[in-house]
Structures are given as C-alpha cells and as structure tokens.
Amino acid sequence: MDKLVEMKQAPEQQGAPEFSLTEILIVLWKGRKLIVGGTVVVMILCVLFTLYTATYKSEGFYQFGGAIPVPKEQVMAEKDKDKEKEKEAPPGIALGDYKRYVAALSSSGRFDDYMQQVKLNNDPTVQELRRTLIVRDNFSKFLEPIYPMTKLDAKELMDTAKDISNNVIGLRISYQATTPQDAQRMVALLGRYTMDSVIYLVYSDFLRSKHLDLTSKITKLDNEIISNKERLESFARKGDTLRKIVARYPDAAAQGSRQVVSVTEDNARYLSPSTQLMSTEVDALMANEAILKAQREQKQNIILREYYDGAKATLDSSKSGEAVLLALEAIKENVFKKRDLNDESVKEVFNMITVDNQKATAVYLEKSRFIAGPTLPESRTSRLSNSLLAGFLAGLAFFSLLVFGRSWWQANRLKMAD
C-alpha cells in the first residue's frame, strides 16, 4: 500500500516543481561574474549617455516696463478742455497684440533676419534654436506669458478685478543647452530678440501708414485754408458795403438798439448797420484765426511727414527694432538742422518728437529688462546619481535573467534534443 501511494503521488510532484531560495542563490552565485560585469558596463554606458546628452536649464523673468505700444504725443491743440482726461494706458501688452507679436517672432524668417543683423547666424547654439523654431509652436516652450493675476486671484478679488487690466506684463524665458554658459546666453538672447521684434513690429505698424495719414491731413488743412479765405473775402465785401450804408445814414447808425433781438442768420439783417458791421468784423477775425491755425498745423504736419519718411526708410533698410529706435534721434536732428527752432510751431514739433523718442527708449530699452536671471545653472537637468541607479537596476535585472536563462538552457537542452 505504501508503494502504491508513493506511485500515485509521484506524478503530482513531477507536475508541480518547487523552487527553493537556495537553488536561486546558487544559480546567481555561479553567474556572479557575468552579473557584476554586465551591470557595471550598463552603468558606465548610462553615465556616458547622460554626460553626452546632459543639458543645463537657465531661466529668467523679463518685465515689460510700460504700456506697449507706447502712446504717442499729440502735436495739434485740438483737445476739448471740458473733456475728462483719458486714463493712463495699463502696463504690458494686450493679449491680442501679444499673440500677433509671438506669431511673428516665432517664424524662422524673422529669426534669421535678426540673427543676421546681430551677426550671430553662424553660432552653433543659435542654429540649434533655429531648428527648434522650424517645428510649429515650439517657440511657446521657451516663452511663458505672465499676467497681473490668475483665475484664482480674479475670484478672490471679485469686483476689484474688473477694473484691473490683464495684459501680459512679462515673460518667463527658459532654455536648455549643453553647457551652463550657452543656456544663460541663449535666455538673454531670447529676451533681446523678443523685445527687438516687438519694437520692430510696433514701428512697422506705425510708420507704414504715417505718410498717407499726414498727407491726407495736409490736404484737408489746405482745403480748410481755402474755405476760410473765401469766407474772409466775403466778410471783407460785406464790411465795405456796411461802411457805405453807415456813412449814408449816420443818424440810423448812431441810434441805439431799443429791443433785444436774438441773432440768427435769418434775423441778423434786421440789426442796425453798425451792429452788423461789428459782427462782420468779428467773423472776419475768427476766419483769419482759423486760417492761421490751419497754416500752423499744416506746417507742423509737413515737418512730421519728412521725419516719419526718414524713419520709414531706416525701417526698410534694417531688420532690428532696436537699431531703428536708436536711429530716430539722428533722423530728427537731420530734419530740424535746416529749420528755425526759434519758431514756436517748429519748436513744438521738435519737443514732441524728443519726448516720444525718450519715452520709447525708456519703455522699450531701459524699463523692459530682466528683473530676475538669466540664471547660470549649476547642475544638469538629469543627475548622474539617477543615471547610475537606473543603470544598476537595469543591468542587474537583465543579466540576472540572462543567467537564469543560461542555467535553464544547460539543464534542459538534452531533454529538448531527445
């Protein structure tokens, strides 16, 4: 009976082989050289790969120093004194303008033009950045817009948030390169490139239509001068006629008005000749003042057109917004060197252009700047310790399985052959 029971149990034991920890350790110990050597090789390869592909990430916060585009000064004194003073433009760039600027500076064409202008088109790191720009929307990886408030801030502030503009007030710029110095340098370059592109686009939008606008204003003022001259001649003829009437009827002219009359075009003729004569002289005086004012504005607009034409020519010959902005002072000096600055109308235009240029320089080149960074990274984005650990685990797992596989093959190859 005992033998029969053993015979029945034997197949069951053969169908359910048992693995012991001792056997596993024996197999691993026999293959220890392969496991240790292979794991070390994998760790070395992981370290070499990490060193070869290691990158350093630099970051910086670029602040916009005021309202962009900068509001222009008005030359002509046509403002209504009773009108409430307009609110100062909020700082930063409106979201619609920001998207338009980013779409332009993300293009490889604009990037190539600027790098050629600053003579960096052959820089290897710049070429790497250009290859990244070729892929659509990749530029957004480097620039992150910063707003005055988040959605959470708006919920907390409630009504106060409605009065606060949510323009883009700055950019968080980041870039990864193979060396810390290249990463820092490229973040600084991206900040300069972004601001330069914004300046270029602002002046491109403004200057391309300025010649036609000023020419149209000059023509309208010319028509206004012609119209007022015709009115002035009409008032002169009317005044001569009224003087003859007053001379012909001295008693009627000397007689005072005995009733209050509302003066309109229809009933003005019922006033006394002397009263009408005074009214005509006042109208003539007003028409003459209108002529002088239109001539003054026309003269100023002619000067402005010459100045903006020079600025437009500079814009067409340069691909750098900063270069155009810095050239405006020289253009101004060239325009006014042949004009008399003692003339108040000329001096007013000179001062207005000077204020515009100073304000633009302050906002675009001085106040708009990095207020944090670009940082010089001290450590790689991927650490060697992580690479070593990953290499150790991967090597240990792979070569342990390889040892077990080799042991199984040696134990079962004869059975498989049979």
pLDDT at 370: 94
Local structure of residue 136 (DSSP, 8 states): T
Contacts of 192 (CB under 8 A, 6+ apart): 322
Q: 262 in helix, strand or coil? A: coil
Q: Give pLDDT tens digits for 83-106.
A: 444 567 788 999 889 999 988 888
Cβ neighbours around 117 below 10 Å, total: 17
Q: What is the DSSP letter of 16?
A: S
Query: 114, 109, 108: which is closest to 134 by C-alpha?
Result: 108
pLDDT value at position 88?
74
Please check whether residue 382 is in contact with residue 54, taking contact to mean a CB–CB distance below 8 angstroms.
yes
Q: What is the pTM of this model?
A: 0.72
Rg (CA), the chain: 42
Can you give the pLDDT of all 418 residues of the chain as single tens digits? 444 444 444 444 444 455 567 777 777 787 778 878 888 888 788 777 766 667 788 999 999 988 999 887 655 444 444 444 456 778 899 988 999 998 888 888 888 888 888 888 888 888 888 887 777 567 778 889 998 876 565 555 555 545 567 789 999 999 888 888 988 999 999 999 999 999 999 999 888 888 889 999 999 999 999 998 898 888 888 888 777 777 777 765 555 554 444 555 555 555 677 777 777 888 888 888 999 999 999 999 999 999 999 999 999 998 899 999 999 999 999 999 989 989 999 999 999 999 999 999 999 999 999 999 899 987 776 666 777 778 778 878 887 888 888 877 777 776 666 5
- Helix, strand, coil shares of the chain as percentages rounded to 5? 70, 5, 25
DSSP-assigned states of every residue in 334-347: HHHTTS-TTSHHHH
238/281 Cα distance (integer angstroms)? 9
